[in-house]
């Protein structure tokens, strides 16, 4: 594949329209081309049968597609499927399908970066260095590949998308928002933004920018401790984005967007799972409507954290419920294939 051509999926509609005009083609050709790319998911000019052979030859000379290819697929005993996908430059990323068949809920967890720069102490991806941001098309490709797989395996397309895979989505702000535009646009996949959740380790400046941009998707904060000193120990990002600053940014986000906010909270035995921790978390939940997802920790080779036992988890959740907080304890899925929360690292 030649790399002096541009991937046509990196071009905006305006750029494609200008290119078509330059070739002397009618204006509607740009709309046809755009529909092939984003509605039908074409990754080759050959399939664009309503364009003449001559047009397709010209396009082929000037542009290329750089689609993701599936490298390895692993299926867990609980039905979760992990996909290792290869990018055009040889880098690899992971995406995960999490089916809850009894509720007809099929969620894809997508990656937004190759590796990650945040070094959270409990996360396998955080042990890798960040190689680069993903392009919008590389994120949309994950959705398409996993949607097709869900249809083949479960007879049902995706119902939800979570940006919780490899990388920090808000450090790839423009590309992530562009990918969501393609996923939600009637000229793209036409999915409701309310079925999309973007998860962040907590970049206050970017959360404020989401508020200014009046986004319509949901936001999840990887919180994991309701106390600054504990949070900084496990998430170095907290040193520049402490809880007070984050809560202020989230208040702004809620006021401007009315989007749903949730806190992701991995419970570590003896570290953040005490009654005192639960009381501190309940206090943080009083500032705007928020739901808490308590997540079972998934052991990662070389890291010393231990997951909370069942009794501690239940007690923690009871304290929150008593304070009127909506809380869910999320059992891990796909642990046997390293597809669970925090485990994505391209072994």
Residue spans of alpha helices (H) in 158-198: 173-184
Active site annotation includes 103: no
Task: Give yes or no for a contact between 112 and 169, defined as CB atoms under 8 angstroms apart.
Answer: yes
Task: Give yes or no for a contact between 143 and 189, defined as CB atoms under 8 angstroms apart.
Answer: yes
User: Of the candidates 120, 291, 144, which has an alpha carbon nearest to the alpha carbon of residue 200?
Assistant: 120
As given in the structure block, the two tokens for residue 83 are 């996909």
Q: Look up residue 112 and give its DSSP letter.
A: -
Of 64, 94, 168, 296, the catalytic one is 94
Task: Give yes or no for a contact between 58 and 23, defined as CB atoms under 8 angstroms apart.
Answer: yes
Active site annotation includes 94: yes
Tally the C-alpha atoms within 13 A of residue 70's C-alpha that lie toward its C-beta: 15
Of 20, 109, 285, 341, the catalytic one is 341
Q: Tell me how crowded residue 24 is: count the other CB atoms within 10 A of its CB.
A: 6
Q: Which residues are catalytic?
A: 94, 341
């Amino acid at each position: 594949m030649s790399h002096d051509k541009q991937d046509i999926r990196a071009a905006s509609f305006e750029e494609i329209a200008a290119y078509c005009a330059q070739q002397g083609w009618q204006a509607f050709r740009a709309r046809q081309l755009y529909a092939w790319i984003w509605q039908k998911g074409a990754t080759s000019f050959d399939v664009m049968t309503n364009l003449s052979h001559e047009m397709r030859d010209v396009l082929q000379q000037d542009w290329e597609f750089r689609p993701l290819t599936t490298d390895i697929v692993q299926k867990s005993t609980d039905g979760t499927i992990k996909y290792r996908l290869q990018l055009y430059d040889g880098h690899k990323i992971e995406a995960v399908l999490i089916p809850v068949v009894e509720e007809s809920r099929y969620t894809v967890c997508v990656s937004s970066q190759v590796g990650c720069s945040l070094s959270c102490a409990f996360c396998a991806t955080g042990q890798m260095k960040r190689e680069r941001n993903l392009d919008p098309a590389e994120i949309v490709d994950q959705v398409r590949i996993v949607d097709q797989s869900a249809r083949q395996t479960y007879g049902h397309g995706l119902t939800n998308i979570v940006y919780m895979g490899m990388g920090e989505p808000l450090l790839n702000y423009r590309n992530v928002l562009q990918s969501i535009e393609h996923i939600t646009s009637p000229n793209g996949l036409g999915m409701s933004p309310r079925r999309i959740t973007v998860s962040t380790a907590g970049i206050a400046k970017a959360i404020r920018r989401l508020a200014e941009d009046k986004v319509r998707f949901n936001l999840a904060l990887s919180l994991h401790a309701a106390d600054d000193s504990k949070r900084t120990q496990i998430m170095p990002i907290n040193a520049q984005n402490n809880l007070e600053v984050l809560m202020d940014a989230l208040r702004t986000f809620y006021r401007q967007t009315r989007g749903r906010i949730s806190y992701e909270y991995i419970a570590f035995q003896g570290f953040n799972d005490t009654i005192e921790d639960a009381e501190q978390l309940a206090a943080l939940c009083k500032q705007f409507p928020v739901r808490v997802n308590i997540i079972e920790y998934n052991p990662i080779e070389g890291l010393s954290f231990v997951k909370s036992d069942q009794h501690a988890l239940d007690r923690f959740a009871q304290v929150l419920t008593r304070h009127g907080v909506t809380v869910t304890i999320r059992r891990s899925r796909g642990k046997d294939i390293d597809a669970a929360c925090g485990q994505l690292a391209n072994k």
